[in-house]
Structure 1
Amino acid sequence: MPVKKKRSPVPYAFASVLCLVPPMLIQFLWMNSTGESLGISSRIGEFLSFFPIFLQRFTTINFISIAFCAGGILLACIAFRNRAASSTALAMLLVTTGLILMILSVFRLL
Structure 2
Amino acid sequence: MLIGELSRRTGVSARSLRYYEAQGLLEARRGTNGYRAYDEDAVASVRKIRALLRAGLSTDVIRQVLPCARGEQAGFDWCAELRAILDGEPADLDEQIEALRRGRGALAGLPAER
TM-score by length of 1: 0.32
Higher helix share: 1
User: Greater relative contact order: 1 or 2 (C-alpha under 8 angstroms, separation 6 or more)?
Assistant: 1
TM-score by length of 2: 0.31
Q: Which has the larger radius of gyration?
A: 2
